[in-house]
Amino acid sequence: MGSMDEMTANTAISWFNRLIKPKIKVGSSRAQHPPEGLWIKCEPCGQTLFHKELERNLHVCPHCQHHFRVSGHARIDITLDPEGRKELFANLQPSDPLKFKDLKRYRDRVRDAQKESGNQDAVQVFKGTIQEVPAVVAAFDFNFLGGSMGSVVGAKVAQGALAAVDEGCGYVVFSASGGARMQEGILSLMQMARTSAALTRLDEAGLPFISVLTDPTTGGVTASFAMLGDIILAEPHALICFAGPRVIEQTMRETLPEGFQRSEYLLEHGFVDRICPRAEMRSQLADLLSRLTRTHKTRERKIYRNEELPSPPVAE
Ligand SMILES: [Zn+2]
């Protein structure tokens, strides 16, 4: 209990604060990115986890192996060797050709997401090495407008493939996306063809494309490059689908089977080649990339300019 003088002083300050509103406000970014040392609850098992410990464990719950979603940059950090990595196409900026507005203007949504994440759009592309095997790696950030694929995401995924051709190395894409970015209308749908076409360059050069499906990979991303991997890996228990389970359930009016559209279900039905826990991802990728590139090293590789549009494949 404070003395009478202190109480008077406190009352005086609260009266003063009401009169003159403080100019410094706590931004939303702070609320969504808690300071280090905070505890996080693992929803599936209910355990409380120390933030630092979770980070050390590659954002995987040590009790139930739940794989938490990670940002694009965190994904790059836990995938590429720390030395010699370089970000590509970092400055591509999304535009708003339709001047789209729903509850909020698209331009404002993008600006907020950029401020929140420190990135220009929902995918980050890096070149570097994975356990000393060269690779170009693209990683989606689901926190950035649901990892949706607009023109910039499409351009970066496509140019990442062409960069891998230039470098003569394999290409790895970690998908985490709600699908096409509806605010860009038809332009977002065109990215499905754009990314798929760019992958044919990689194929012609005899270089591997490894698609890694993480929670959640849905919509137009599933319907294009994510399912075109020479090898398709998935993280455990990731949601992988075109239309989500709720939509299907409402349309079919049927209860869906347990684990429907999760990695394990897709593996069983032949859509996924292997489920790879995060702890094994680096060694798995390094192994696959070195095996699949070694066999093609002697083949002559053509170098394509980035702006050159790939032509559709011709049946022989
Ligand atoms: Zn857990």
Q: What is the DSSP letter of 121?
A: S
Q: Please, are residues 144 and 117 in contact by the beta-carbon 8 Å criterion?
A: yes
Residue carrying structure tokens 């069983």: 268
Q: Is the pLDDT of residue 306 over 60?
A: no
**Beta strands 39-41; 274-275: pairing state:** unpaired
- Closest by Cα among 206, 257, 263, 212 to 240: 263
Distance 121 CA to ligand 1 centre (A): 30
Q: Which residue has the higher pLDDT, 233 or 244?
A: 233
* pLDDT per position as a tens digit, 212-223: 999 999 999 999
Residue pair 259/265 in contact by the 8 Å Cβ criterion: yes
State the chain's mean pLDDT as an integer: 87
| 8-state DSSP, 316 | -
How far does residue 48's CA lie from ligand 1's centre (Å)? 8
pLDDT digits (tens, 9 = 90+) for 39-53: 999 999 999 999 999
Q: What pLDDT shows up at residue 165?
A: 97
Do the strands 209-217 and 170-177 form a parallel or antiparallel pair, or are they unpaired?
Answer: parallel
Centroid of ligand 1 to alpha carbon of 63 (angstroms): 5
pLDDT tops 60 at residue 151: yes
Compute the average pLDDT of residues 255-283. 95
Q: What is the CA(76)–ligand 1 centre distance, in A?
A: 23
Section 29-37 average pLDDT:
48
Distance 88 CA to ligand 1 centre (A): 35
Q: How wide is the angle at C-alpha 80 spanned by C-alphas 78 and 86, nearest 5°? A: 125
CA of 200 to the centre of ligand 1 (A): 40
The alpha carbon of 171 and the centre of ligand 1 are apart by a number of angstroms equal to: 31
pLDDT at 316 over 60: no
Q: Is 258 helix (H, G, I), strand (E, B) or coil?
A: coil
CA of 44 to the centre of ligand 1 (A): 6
CA 308 to centroid of ligand 1, rounded, Å: 47
Contact predicate 49/42, CB 8 Å: yes
The pair of three-digit structure tokens given for residue 211, joined into one six-digit string = 């698609």
Distance CA 18, CA 62 (A): 47
**Are the CB atoms for 212 and 281 separated by under 8 Å?**
yes
CA 280 – CA 291 distance, rounded (Å) = 17
Tell me: pLDDT of 291 over 80. Answer: yes
Region 291-313 average pLDDT: 56
Q: How many A from CA of 49 to the centre of ligand 1?
A: 8
Digit-coded pLDDT (tens) for 106-139:
999 999 999 999 999 999 999 999 999 999 999 9
Q: Is it the case that residue 10 has pLDDT exceeding 90? A: no
